[in-house]
Amino acid sequence: MPQACKIYFSTFIQALALVIFSFSAPAHAQEDVIWNLPDPENTVYLELQEGTVVIELNPMFAPKTVKHFKQLIDDQFYRGQSFYRVIDGFVAQAGDESDLGDIHTVASITAEFEIDWPMKPKDKEEARAWQATPWMPVQKEDLFAPYTGFIDGFAAARDRKKGGKAWLTHCPGTIAMARNSSADSGSTDFYIVIGQAPRYLDRNMSIFGRVVWGMDVVQRIKRGPTLKNGIIEEDMGRSWIKGMRLASSVEKNQQLDVWIADTNSKGFKKMLKKRRNRSDNFFHHQPPKVLDICQVPVPVRLEKSNQ
């Protein structure tokens, strides 16, 4: 379970809530944000020449994929692998390139595209076992889904149909398994979204994590030629993975404490409201009162280990 810590950290939230143009700071500070540390058992340090990327895994939506990925990390499988297929504005794909051919050294895994999640309990029996979901609503009738929202920091979407489904959405920083046309063909190759959210891939890929720190590092990953579908032929032209480690396998004082704003907290809810209703005088044309789930930053701050 994540550790929780309530911190009065108004300046930071202001900085994130503001657009970068110089207009005055919001009058009231948001002092009721709760900050969580992700579970070290589901936090990954991806080490590149370009820097360190911190990834949070999501066993709720992709239990099998997360287990599989953690096993590969444990086996040091990704050490010395590279980002071999990188298209600017779209995705950076890494792994042993098994996605390109038919030879798989590692067994493939079952697809985890969405989960069952009724919007409401359907009867009294279900109501008894019903738990308050960590769903923080963001937008109804989003272009790509009937409902969008956050589930413990992850951008997600829901639909009432077929008894109720929920899925993680493709946003910048989203991590999913690559595959060929077969749904269950994912094996070792994964991709990180590095451009405008390719939401048409939602419910079609096993999203199993997201970048919580170091997207600037990810953006420095070497690009491939669009003409060749992003594939980088030359070794020197690629970004290489020096290693991948689970935070829990790293000594406490070496861990990176990435504090993530609790998307279920009152403070975050206020931030959403403010973002939706932009009332300051910077705006001469009132923006539509809508939110793109992939354009709502979840505040994060890095501290040295607290141990």
Cα(154)–Cα(209) distance, integer angstroms: 8
Are the CB atoms for 134 and 117 separated by under 8 Å?
no
Least distance (Å) between residue 81 CB and a copy of itself: 17
Least distance (Å) between residue 149 CB and a copy of itself: 15
- One residue of 229, 253, 279, 307 binding a copy of itself per CB under 8 A: 229
- Touching a copy of itself, residues 153-182 (CB under 8 A): 171-172, 178-181
Environment class of 118 (CB within 10 Å of its CB; exposed 0-12, middle 13-18, buried 19+): middle
* Residue 147 engages a copy of itself in binding (rule: CB under 8 A): no
- One residue of 93, 188, 206, 263 binding a copy of itself per CB under 8 A: 93
For 241, the token pair is 């993975």
Residue 22 CB contacts under 8 Å (≥ 6 apart), including other chains: none
Least distance (Å) between residue 185 CB and a copy of itself: 9
- One residue of 144, 250, 270, 274 binding a copy of itself per CB under 8 A: 144
Residue 116 falls in which region: left (phi positive, over 0), alpha (psi -120 to 50) or beta: beta
Least distance (Å) between residue 180 CB and a copy of itself: 5
* Residue 47 engages a copy of itself in binding (rule: CB under 8 A): no
**Alpha helices in the chain, H assignment, sequence order:** 10-17, 63-74, 124-129, 215-218, 266-276
Nearer to a copy of itself, 170 or 245 (CB): 170
CB atoms near residue 252 (< 10 Å): 11
- One residue of 104, 228, 242, 273 binding a copy of itself per CB under 8 A: 228
Near a copy of itself by CB under 8 A, which window of 32-40, 69-77, 142-150, 235-243?
Answer: 142-150
Are the CB atoms for 142 and 172 separated by under 8 Å?
no
Are the CB atoms for 112 and 61 separated by under 8 Å?
yes
* Residue 287 engages a copy of itself in binding (rule: CB under 8 A): yes
Least distance (Å) between residue 265 CB and a copy of itself: 19
Length of the chain in residues, anyone? 307
Cα(121)–Cα(130) distance, integer angstroms: 7
Near a copy of itself by CB under 8 A, which window of 40-48, 130-138, 228-236, 261-269?
Answer: 228-236
For 66, the token pair is 């997360």
Least distance (Å) between residue 1 CB and a copy of itself: 27
Are the CB atoms for 281 and 23 separated by under 8 Å?
yes
- One residue of 1, 22, 105, 123 binding a copy of itself per CB under 8 A: 22
- Touching a copy of itself, residues 243-282 (CB under 8 A): 275, 278, 280-282
Least distance (Å) between residue 118 CB and a copy of itself: 19
Task: Quote the DSSP letter at residue 198.
Answer: -
* Residue 52 engages a copy of itself in binding (rule: CB under 8 A): no
- Print the binding letters for residues 185-224 with a copy of itself: x by CB under 8 A, - otherwise: ------x--xxxxxxxxxxx----------xx--xx--x-
Query: If you compute the radius of gyration of the chain from its CA atoms, what whole number of angstroms results?
Result: 20
Nearest Cα neighbor of 62 from 186, 212, 207, 204 is 207
- One residue of 44, 48, 72, 91 binding a copy of itself per CB under 8 A: 91
Under rule CB under 8 A, how many of the chain's residues touch a copy of itself? 73
